[in-house]
Chains A and B, each alone.
Chain A
Amino acid sequence: MTDSPSPERSIEQQIQTAFPGVIPDYPSGTALVQYRTDKLQLPELVRFLHEKMQGRLALLFAVDCRPLEKKYELQYLFAFKSRQPFVLVTTELIGDDRLFTSITPSVHAAQWYEREIRDLFGLIPQGHPDLRRLVRHEHWPKGTHPLQKDVSWNNVLGRQQGEYRFHHIEGEGVFEVPVGPIHAGIIEPGHFRFSVAGEPIMQLELRHFWKHRGVEKLFEQLTLIDAVLLAERVSGDTTVGHSLTYCQAVETLLDLQVPRRANYLRSLFLELERLYNHFGDIGAMCNDTAYALAHAHCGRIKERIMQLNDRLVGSRFLRGVMRVGGVSWDVDRSQLGTLVDELNGIQKDFSEVGAIIFANASLTDRLETTGVLTERIAWDHAVTGVVGRASGMDQDVRRDRPFAAYDELPVNVALYRYGDARARLRVRGDEIHESIRLIREIHARIPDGPIAAEPDRSAPPGAWAVAAVEGWRGEILYFVSAGDDGMIHRCKVRDPSFVNWPAIQWAVLGNIIPDFPLINKSFNLSYAGNDL
């Protein structure tokens, strides 16, 4: 990461110098700079943003602009160091043009995005090194691209025969071990293909996307206001993260000011979601090393938090709390007081469990140096969230682009550099303490007032917005554009799992097969959030 740009010159100025013909645009409401460029210049501009400006490819997606215009738009969203605006590069394929130049050769993180675009829109990334199907499994009939506007949402697909071609390693004593998609535990479906020489893993290939529900297509059948319910269900354990991100995007579209009290409550719910998931993850990691004692205690604490959720809002998973314009449940002062008391008790409890976990030599031996994800590989995959912060990627949306109440609640970001399973455990441990501290702050500072604002206008067709939230797994991104009559024209969902999954293929190299479940658990990615 050399050639860092001089700090006094902004990103816009540097782009202006290097590409004088490209004109920036500032869409209202979003902290974002948009550049429109033709598809020939695009790879050069993207490469400049990634290599010279250290831009992280946060999102890459396509939009079918019909019925307004007969064209496809490709959108490349780049994120930069703390508190800089997003840069959105837009290019278009007009008329029947189906070809675009792949940027994967220079931006590795684009790999899955471009395959996804090809599967769902039928647009072909020329020069992409790996054009096998990703989302569209082989039994989908040829030519099915569900996100094209002329495909109806309730279209029933036929089946065809086909086989996915895995990469093979050949040689004496090299075996392939297929695992999944059906597993023994209560785990979502995913296929892992290992090539091993004895126990050490030489290669891991993922074959996921067994859970395609057509979520992005379903969004297009809903109004902007109603689709919160769908967003809640993208990934069951990230109810608040997804619904909050969606609401923020729609509020930008509708130019809606969320009351301060609602913002504090949103932060509260987001931190509660982070807490119960982190407790579950720490326990599950211990369980995968057969250290059942810590698993039992973490499970007990997780259950306490989920029961707290239930008492607060009537849902263990915090369903139904978010709405466009604010929140739908208020939490009164006495409830908040009880919550903080309970959490203080839980923090004391967890401090003891944490001391046992981190002092246990046999557990430490299992976690240290297991599944190392180096900072370089993390950067190349644009990894986010817990996994990124354990590999030295200093990023947290709560601090870098404050949303909800985080502009008034500074967050201390947990950061480790080793990138092994233990670092990922430590990030979670630190974030638990930080979340409880934040909830205490919320209790101390929450203002009185209304908990929701009513939308008073509709979004013009073609208007769009981008929103980002730090969910418990990492950065969640939504792009929402408005259609006619308050409907959604396009909603792009990006769960952190989608960018973190490919990185796991690198983290396992050189580890032994029996350590894979532990490495997988230390990432703990969503299969459903990955496959929309």
Chain B
Amino acid sequence: MLYAFVLIVMQTVVLLAVAPLIVGLIRKVKARLQCRRGAAVFQPYADLIKLFRKQPVVSSTTSWIFTATPYILFASTLAAGLLVPVFMSTTPLNFAGNIIALVYLLALGTFFLMLAGLDAGSAFGGMGSSREAIVASLTEPAMMLSIFAIALTAGSTNLSTIVHKTALLEGIVTDPSPHLMAFAALVIVAIAETGRVPVDNPATHLELTMIHEAMILEYSGRYLALVEWAAGLKLLVFLTLIANVSAPWGIATSMEPAALGIGLATYLVKVSGLAVLIGFLESMFAKLRLFRVTDLLGTAFVLALLGLVFFYVLRG
């Protein structure tokens, strides 16, 4: 009992602490690629502290959904994070759900965010919500399929089991192509779900082009802080998922302190590496035309599907 409790606390602390760092790291990489010095990687922490101290302004036309959404979003994203193995293969909420629960916990947050975008009644919020609905409905199947492709090799939809088995190289087929395809699909899904270039531009001030930013335009103060933190958390959850499902090696498979230390260190290296990768990808591409986003997500779906097919074909 105590053991489970300690695990929950540890994983929560790591997720909450690392999320702003990842956001800062991506910004830093992009700045360096643009020959700029850029803000310190710890800037997002300062931003969060500043926002928490500020008084929020709430439009008088909004309903309870607007003020409840930041909490729902934050809580659901954190709960999703506790379903993913972070630095050790056992997850704190192992008993509570599997990969499907993870997908729908994230979808719950997105759903409320879309409602909140509509709630204030501004033209931009509505546009953001309608665009988010397109993106979310297309990422969902691609994400499910890609994780299923990996689940098949491990014989379980429980993330903890998948990671544990993969880390110990149990039940792995000799050909890694299902894994690779699922990995590519997951990267695309992660970019779309977390509103990065080329799907969305987190750095723009142009309301007409926004997706995620348009939905949260009306937020300020601690509400905005929660939404921003949740966005960072969601990004981190995806990077963790990609890192640990595709390459879990190094993760702690027992509770020994040495194993935990190694697990934490390799975890930080892995997510930082992925953050740098995202920084590079964002610098290489212009944003897609809105209606081309569906093509990209279609590609992700097909890749994931191919991963599934390959699994059966290779097994003979």
Which chain A residues have a beta carbon within 8 Å of chain B's beta carbons?
Answer: 175-179, 183-185, 198-199, 286, 288-293, 295-297, 300, 360, 362-363, 365-366, 512-517
Contact = CB atoms under 8 A, between A and B. Distances in A.
Contact of A517 (B35, B208, B286, B291): B208
Interface stretch (B70-78, B157-165, B197-205, B235-243): B197-205
B57 interface: no
Residue from A176, A178, A288, A514 having most chain B Cβ neighbours under 10 A: A514
Nearest to B31: A296
Nearest to B203: A292
Interface in B247-293: 282-292
B208 A516 contact: yes
A515 B203 contact: no
B286 A362 contact: yes
22 contacts: A179-B207, A179-B208, A198-B130, A288-B206, A289-B286, A290-B197, A290-B204, A290-B282, A290-B285, A291-B285, A292-B203, A292-B282, A293-B34, A293-B284, A296-B34, A360-B285, A363-B286, A365-B292, A512-B290, A512-B291, A513-B208, A515-B289
B30 interface: yes
A69 to B, nearest CB: 51
B219 to A, nearest CB: 14
A296 B34 CA distance: 6
Contacts of B17: none
A295 B35 CA distance: 11
A362 B288 contact: yes
Contact of B35 (A176, A289, A300): A300
Contacts of A362: 198, 285-288
A175 B122 CA distance: 12
Most buried by A among B198, B209, B291: B209
A177 B197 CA distance: 25
B35 A297 contact: yes
B35 A296 contact: yes
A485 B131 CA distance: 64
Nearest to A369: B289
Given A199-B291, A289-B286, A516-B208, 14 more contacts: A179-B123, A183-B205, A290-B287, A292-B283, A293-B33, A296-B36, A297-B34, A300-B35, A362-B288, A513-B208, A514-B208, A514-B209, A514-B290, A515-B289
Closest 10 CB pairs of A and B: A296-B34, A290-B287, A290-B201, A289-B286, A291-B286, A184-B205, A363-B286, A185-B205, A514-B209, A517-B206
Contacts, number: 82
B127 A177 contact: yes
Nearest to A186: B205
A177 B123 CA distance: 6
Given A365-B289, A366-B287, A292 B30 contact: yes
A513 B126 CA distance: 13
B316 to A, nearest CB: 39
A178 B35 contact: no
Interface of B: 30, 33-36, 123, 127, 130, 197-198, 201, 203-209, 282-292
Nearest to B206: A517
User: Which residue, A177, A185, A293, A363, has most C-beta atoms of chain B within 10 A?
Assistant: A293
Nearest to A518: B209
Nearest to A295: B34
Contact of A286 (B36, B205, B286, B290): B286
A199 B36 CA distance: 35
Contacts of B204: 290
Given A179-B207, A179-B208, A185-B206, A289 B287 contact: yes
A424 to B, nearest CB: 16
A199 B285 CA distance: 23
Given A177-B127, A178-B123, A366 B206 contact: no
A360 B284 CA distance: 9
B23 to A, nearest CB: 16
Contacts of B201: 290
A176 B34 CA distance: 38
A513 B127 contact: yes
A350 to B, nearest CB: 15
A483 to B, nearest CB: 46
Nearest to A176: B123
Contacts of A178: 123
A385 B206 CA distance: 26
A259 B5 CA distance: 87
Contacts of A293: 33-34, 283-284
Contacts of B288: 362, 365-366
B28 to A, nearest CB: 13
A178 B285 CA distance: 30
Contacts of A292: 30, 34, 203, 282-283
Contacts of A288: 206, 209
